Amino acid sequence: MNKEFSRIISGTMTWGAWGKQLDKKEMSSLMSHCIENKITTFDHADIYGGYTTEEDFGIALAESNIKREDIQLISKCGIQHLSGDRKNKVGHYEYSKEYIIWSVEESLKLLKTDYLDVILMHRPSPLMRSDEIAEAILQLMRQGKIKDFGVSNFTPAQMNMIGSKMPISVNQIEFSLTTHTAMHDGTLDTMITNDITPMAWSPLGNVFREDNEQTRRIHKQLGELLEKYDATEDQLLLAWIMKHPANIHPVIGTTTPKRITDAAKAAKINMELQDWFLILVASQGHKVP
């Protein structure tokens, strides 16, 4: 398995048409800023920007001075949106052998690279067949088009089903202080047991998006720890995630250079055990059993 992912991962979902609409110069500059802060892994999905962001990123990467071997590229496939040139009647999931291979080859072409460091099956489908997925992945690996295979948003049972035919190296899940069921439903336990790297999308949760009793409790508790750790609230939220023994890699979605720099510094925070539980209790609104 490729263990070279950076501790913090840069998510590109909002770099293009679905967000900031960065031009190629701005994208190249943002890539370089990430790399300067030891964030060398970039998370993509074919659907981002309505199937356009991979191409925008690839053009920017090709025209930059960044060496391919200095970064890691993740992409995902399987979600079929009603967008672009795709003649879909309904949004659905597609995990046939032919489609997975075609989708990876399309991502390689758009990202202007010879290989992906890992390809993830984006969301589980009720109709997916583990043996067919394994056939596609093994062929892509033999051809050197992917280094590793993983999934995204898969439950423990789904990981076990797919993993019975093809070892899984990554599962990218929603995980944060305000969405932490993966700690209790066996998801992270399964990943630890099977040496699967967890990546966490939306790692700040709804702490800054919502104003309610829970988020107010969290802000109060984080505020009492800022001076102790010489940190921002964002950094403490990321450090809280990274304290977990599953070795979770937060996928940050920001395109703001300062927030990227701050996120990178969070990897150096060694949060004390009882402070971790103080923050958990603030989120839950009750003491641990």
Predicted confidence at residue 1, as pLDDT, reads 41
CATH number at residue 244: 3.20.20.100
**String of DSSP letters for 93-155:** E---HHHHHHHHHHHHHHHT-S-BSEEEE-S--TT--HHHHHHHHHHHHHTTSBS-EEEES--
Among residues 48, 99, 115, 229, the one annotated as catalytic is: 48
**Mean pLDDT, residues 260-275 taken together:** 97
- Cβ atoms of 187 and 156 within 8 Å: the answer is yes
Closest CA to 83 of 43, 53, 128: 53
Indicate the number of domains in the chain.
1
What integer pLDDT is reported at residue 86 of this predicted model? 80
Q: What is the pLDDT of residues 196-229, one digit of tens each?
A: 999 999 999 999 999 999 999 999 999 999 999 9
Considering the chain, what percentage of its residues have pLDDT values greater than 90? 95
**SS3 at position 277:** helix
Find where tokens 């505020």 sit. Answer: 223
Span 52-71, mean pLDDT?
96
**CA 242/CA 162 separation, integer angstroms:** 26
In a domain, 22, yes or no: yes
pLDDT-derived band at 232, boundaries 50, 70, 90: very high
Does residue 182 sit within a domain? yes
Q: Let me know if residue 278 belongs to a domain.
A: no
| Domain-embedded: residue 54 | yes
Residue 223 resides in a domain: no
- H-helix segments, 175-232: 187-193, 213-223, 226-229
Task: Please name the amino acid found at residue 248.
Answer: I
For residue 198, the cross-strand partners are: 171
pTM above 0.75, yes or no: yes
Confirm whether 119 is domain-assigned: yes
In which domain, by residue range, is 257 found?
9-210+234-268
Residue 191 lies in a domain: yes
Instruction: Establish whether 95 is a catalytic residue.
Output: no
- Torsion angles phi and psi, residue 173, rounded to 5: -130, 165
Residue 221 placed within a domain = no
HSE toward the beta carbon, residue 142, CA cutoff 13 A = 7
What is the distance in angstroms between the CA of the first residue and the CA of the last residue of the chain?
A: 37
How would you class 2 by CB atoms within 10 Å of its CB: exposed for 0-12, middle for 13-18, buried for 19 or more?
middle
Separation of alpha carbons 109 and 112, rounded Å: 5
